[in-house]
Amino acid sequence: MTTAVIYSSAPITMNATTLAVSNLQLPHEVAVDGFRHSGNEFASVLAVSGAAPRVRFSTPFAAAYTLIGLKALKLTTCNIYLSKFSDGLKLATSTHRKWALTSSCTALACIRGASVSNRGLLMADVEIVFLSNDGQAHPLTASDANALPTLGSEPALHTLGPATINGTTTGGYLSCSLDLGAEITVALSDGDRFPRVAAYVGGTPIISCEHTDPVTLSTVTGLTGVALSSNFVQYFRTYDTSTHLSGTDGLSLTVASGRVVLDTIGSDNLAVATGSLRVLPLSTSTTHPIVVASGATVPSP
């Protein structure tokens, strides 16, 4: 009997940039149709019509945004790795599994969203859709005996900070999530086994937050929400690479136009009441309605 080999996640390379990886998933999405005919009780023949392979992984938000932005990025090179173990230890030799873009194939990458809880890490969820060059060749090629890539530097880390609503700083945030609502259209035609074309056609971004003081928050937003006149800004504190502590400099997400709505106020028995907040951004052009900035000064709540 063959003994199973143990593998673990490793960095991923996209257009010559290497990103740290957490929670890697590589769904192959193979389409298999069973044909049941002539009164048979069960399918007697199968047809594999193709697949739509993609990869999903988590990585620190700042690194993902720097590479991809808030829309989408075309990839001409992409390497996904699994690190191989032997005798309980990760091997230092070139023995690791790699899936690489097949020659002349491309891919489209986007950030699906990001999230952080109090004193947690701001992590982005990234998705990559792989595209065949002719519709018949699988866009990924697997190989073994590969060396693992190394990061150029450790990624910047951020945690939760306060926010401002139309210039009013509101402290007390417990969590924040960003759903970019990216709409990636993948086209299949002419009996192609694998997709050849994909496009970012738009998005419906929403920022959601949980807050410890729903009364003060409702005073700022009102019962039906408040239109943005002086921005909604969500701040994230940066961890210093020397002290490893979060300070007053950080990352910010700014929404200039849209509405802030207080969704739900709730409290369990003897628990602290919380309020959930939604920010719905607007844009009248192709400019993304959320602006990301580094080096932001985090206000005191």
More confident residue, 87 or 154: 154
Calpha distance 155→19 (Å, rounded): 8
pTM of the model: 0.93
* CA atoms in the 13 A half-sphere facing the CB of 21: 25
Q: What share of the chain is helix, strand, coil (3-state, %, to 5)?
A: 5, 55, 40
For residue 82, the tally of other CB atoms under 10 A from its CB is 20
Q: Do the domain assignments include residue 190?
A: yes
Residue 77 pLDDT more than 90? yes
Q: Which of 16-25, 52-61, 84-93 has the lowest mean pLDDT?
A: 84-93
What local confidence, expressed as pLDDT, does residue 301 receive? 81
- pLDDT at 230 (0 to 100): 92
Return d(Cα 196, Cα 106) in angstroms, integer.
9
Q: Could you tell me if residue 41 is inside a domain? A: no
Q: Taking residues 136-143, what's their average pLDDT?
A: 95
* Confidence band of 273 (pLDDT split at 50, 70, 90): confident
Any domain includes 178: yes
pLDDT in the model for residue 125: 98
Residue 222: pLDDT over 80: yes
Q: What is the pLDDT of residue 93?
A: 83
The answer to whether position 44 is within a domain reads: no
List the 246-255 sheet strands across, edge first. Answer: 168-170, 158-165, 232-239, 246-255, 290-297
Rounded to an integer, what distance in angstroms lies between the CA atom of residue 98 and that of residue 81?
Answer: 5
Per the domain annotation, does 34 fall within a domain? Answer: no
Q: How many folded domains does the chain comprise?
A: 1
pLDDT, residue 221, reads 92
The two beta strands, 226-227 and 274-281, are: unpaired
What are 116's strand-pairing partners? 176
Give the per-residue pLDDT at 152. Answer: 87
Residue 13 has pLDDT above 90, yes or no: yes
The whole-number pLDDT of residue 264 equals 87
163-193 pLDDT per residue, tens: 999 999 988 999 999 999 999 999 888 999 9
> CB-based contacts of 291: which residues, under 8 Å, 6+ apart?
253, 254, 255, 256
Output the pLDDT for position 177: 98
Asked if 43 and 34 touch (Cβ cutoff 8 Å), the reply is yes
Q: How many CA atoms lie within 13 A of 147 on its CB side?
A: 2
Which residue from 215, 141, 207 is spatially nearest to 180, judged by alpha carbons?
207
Of the candidates 233, 208, 222, the one whose C-alpha atom is nearest the C-alpha of residue 299 is 233
Predicted pLDDT at 89 = 80
Q: In the predicted model, what is the mean pLDDT of residues 87-96?
A: 83
Is residue 279 in a domain? Answer: yes
The pLDDT tens digits for 102-118 are 999 999 999 999 999 99
pLDDT at 248: 85
pLDDT of residue 266: 87
Residue 37 domain-assigned? no
Distance CA 248, CA 140 (A): 44
Q: Are 214 and 267 in contact (CB under 8 A)?
A: no
Q: Which domain holds residue 256?
A: 7-29+50-297
Q: What is the pLDDT of residue 241?
A: 86
pLDDT above 80 (res 270): no
Closest CA to 276 of 186, 211, 227, 229: 211
CA distances from 294 to 194, 247, 254, 291 (A): 39, 13, 11, 10
Q: What is the pLDDT of residue 139?
A: 95
User: What is the pLDDT confidence band of residue 71, given thresholds at 50, 70 and 90?
Assistant: very high
Whether residue 75 is contained in a domain is answered as: yes
